[in-house]
Structure 1
Amino acid sequence: MNTFGHLFRATTFGESHGPAIGVVIDGCPPGIPLNEADIQPLMERRRPGRGPTTSPRNELDQVEILSGVFEGQTTGMPIAILIRSTGAESRDYESLRSVVRPGHADRTYQQKYGIRDHRGGGRSSGRETAARVAAGAVAMKCLGLKGMTIRSRITEVHGVSDPALFDAEILKAKERGDSVGGCLEVIADGCPPGLGDPVFGKLDAAIAGAMMGIGAVKGVEIGEGFASAGMYGSEWNDPLFRSGPATNHAGGILGGISNGEPIYLRLAIKPTPSVSIPQETVDLDGTERVIEIKGRHDPCIVPRAQVVAECMLALVLIDALLMRDRFSGFV
């Protein structure tokens, strides 16, 4: 399952400490203006090494479009995008070759496949999300032609909701060798009505699946989400007027279909599992060990996860848009 989407399909490849990662996009409509400059700004938002609150791993994450674009426009053929890795330091992980890291996918990969890449987690690493961002940037370019935009903001870091204190909370965790999580909200504006298909192709179900497919995400709310459980029906229902709904408790989706209002969701992001505080674990033989994870890790993944969430939402929406308009053409 390395491919995401139905009509607009993104297949990512590569490992955290391999020579490159990348994505092949199949199903992108022809005639979309596209070049590396359309993708690079989003890569810059995700890449590590941009300051004290992110991983010091220094990757330039320069994208190379290898196919599917001719004279500045997409051709309708597969778009291959390559991102070469230049900052990997695999020696940092040699001591973990036979050790299971708490909070990581080491043990489940070993149990399922009988083999794992101990260098930063291989495919389970957050490094893989760079390929998703490249694909999402192409999706956003397509959505922009339809007047759709996606934005996000951090709403909480480790229980702190004042943005002025976010960096301080992250650096406090970093200083003690620990990490923290937080929450994001993601909003799609300009989404037309009619995206999503009942019963098992609901738009909110697709969005929730896409967001939970991001390794650090442990919870998703759409609209009022869990707060809905404490509301009266008369409170939750969005009153309708000629100009449209007065509120948007539904988060822009009713019956699994977009209603033309902004699509609004919130994500809960776990703390980065790599911490240098001593932790109890076992090795591959089951022998109990105590480890302190060294290397270069984010003390909080929330800031870099913003653009990943935006791009995954873009991939869901372009796919839904193409499925709605498959017989009428895109451009």
Structure 2
Amino acid sequence: MAGSILGTIFTITTWGESHGKAIGVVVDGCPAGLTLAPSDIQPFLNRRKPGTSKYTTPRKEGDEVEILSGTFAGVTTGTPISMVVYNTDERSHDYGKIKDTYRPGHADYTYQEKYGIRDYRGGGRSSGRETIGRVAAGAIAWKLLNEFGITPLTYATSIGPIRISSERFDEAEINNNPLFMPDAKAAEEARAYLDECLAHSDSAGGVIECVVSGLPVGLGQPVFGKLDSELAKAVMSIGSVKGVEFGAGFQAASLNGHENNDPFTKTGKATNHAGGILGGISDGDSLVLRAAIKPTPSIAMPQKTVTLGGEETSITIQGRHDPVIVPRAVVVVEAMVGLTLIDALLMNCSSKLENLKKIYDCEE
């Protein structure tokens, strides 16, 4: 299967299936000399693992990472870093009844048509469990970015129709509720809304925002390698994401030029409607990205569908599923942003001759 590799210099290759033996990733292009241990990776994986609240799947997985290669004495060696997380609580029999039926909202039909075969046990590679490899790699990316003072803040801005208030925004609240919302009142209202969804065997979507501080000016390649286009590609590769916007985003379409433009001052831009990117290149302001997450397609209410043979039928999806994907997807969005930014940072080293002279100590 093509399409499992991301990046130009800092590359990742994810592998494994939802109900296979393990999930993993190979990271190549990581510079030597970075201190790295499983304890650097595990906190990221803990943010996405299942069974943490009633709003996530009850599948019980420790999601403990093991680093197989690429380090020596706790330091990266510049060689490929391979990481693995073993599946320990897969229940493939939960999916036996749907092996000959297409689940609405899933990739069953398209995988079957493209490959002539599909792994019906939780969707195989199309399962959200594939994101374990992305998150493990993202942990390394962010550790590298932190070396340059680049830091993320990622959270949910809405669950279904419930949105956070800018007046009640509290960064400290993000990790105080299971929905990762920076607004205690909105989080409580969202929980009540999700309880209603659960009572009706339904699910909900939402929006995730990622704000990155400390980015230097100059990241991104003109025309086809623009920073926003690369970020959009990376974030849109997450299975549950249906839209990405930067800064003012779609709201910019309703503004006039004088409202949307960001005036320059001696200390920087007066506003940030551009979301930290001008002409596809980072402008030194905070990167502001939002991702729209669709409702979980696996719901326990009857839905119309067809069988592999084309016969009309109905399906009620059994098994263990998230009533809302947003909370566990927060760290996945953060990981994909980090992977894109570290690749852009490394690529930018060759943008000027003076940069190369600094690297090779050729300055006069």
Q: What TM-score range do you get, normalising by the shorter chain?
A: over 0.9
Identity across the alignment (%) = 55
| TM-score for both structures, normalised by structure 2 | 0.89
State the distance in 2 between where 1:228 and 1:313 align: 22
Match of 1:253 in 2: 277
- SS of the counterpart of 2:304? strand
Describe how 1:120-159 pairs up with structure 2 within 5 A: 120-159=122-161
Letter aligned with residue 200 of structure 2: R
- What's the CA shift string for 1:267-315, capped at 9, x where partnerless? 1110000001000001101111111001000000000000000000000
Match of 1:166 in 2: 190
1:172: Cα distance to partner?
Answer: 1.7
State the distance in 1 between where 2:236 and 2:192 align: 28
Match of 2:171 in 1: none
Letter aligned with residue 315 of structure 1: L
- SS of the counterpart of 1:325? helix
State the distance in 2 between where 1:135 and 1:77 align: 14
Letter aligned with residue 138 of structure 1: I
- SS of the counterpart of 1:53? coil
Match of 2:37 in 1: 35
1:220: Cα distance to partner?
Answer: 0.7
Greater shift in the superposed pair: 41-50 or 161-170: 161-170
State the distance in 1 between where 2:143 and 2:41 align: 9
Match of 1:311 in 2: 335
Where structure 2 has 5 or more consecutive residues not aligned to the other structure, the ranges are: 164-185, 351-355
- SS of the counterpart of 2:297? coil
> Over aligned residues, Cα RMSD in angstroms?
1.1
The answer (yes or no) to whether the contact 1:155–1:163 under 8 Å persists in 2 is no
State the distance in 2 between where 1:286 and 1:187 align: 46
- SS of the counterpart of 1:247? coil
- What's the CA shift string for 1:20-68, capped at 9, x where partnerless? 0000000001101110000100100000011101000111000000000
Letter aligned with residue 254 of structure 1: L
Correspondent of 1:239 among 255, 263, 273: 263
State the distance in 2 between where 1:169 and 1:38 align: 35
1:164: Cα distance to partner?
Answer: 2.4
The answer (yes or no) to whether the contact 1:154–1:303 under 8 Å persists in 2 is yes
User: Would you identify which runs of 4 or more consecutive aligned residues in structure 1 move more than 2 Å?
Assistant: 326-330
Letter aligned with residue 215 of structure 1: G
1:329: Cα distance to partner?
Answer: 5.1
Q: Does 1:323 align with 2:325?
A: no
Describe how 1:219-298 pairs up with structure 2 within 5 A: 219-298=243-322
Q: Does 1:175 align with 2:177?
A: no
State the distance in 1 between where 2:198 and 2:78 align: 46
- SS of the counterpart of 1:312? helix
- SS of the counterpart of 2:225? coil
State the distance in 2 between where 1:62 and 1:218 align: 29
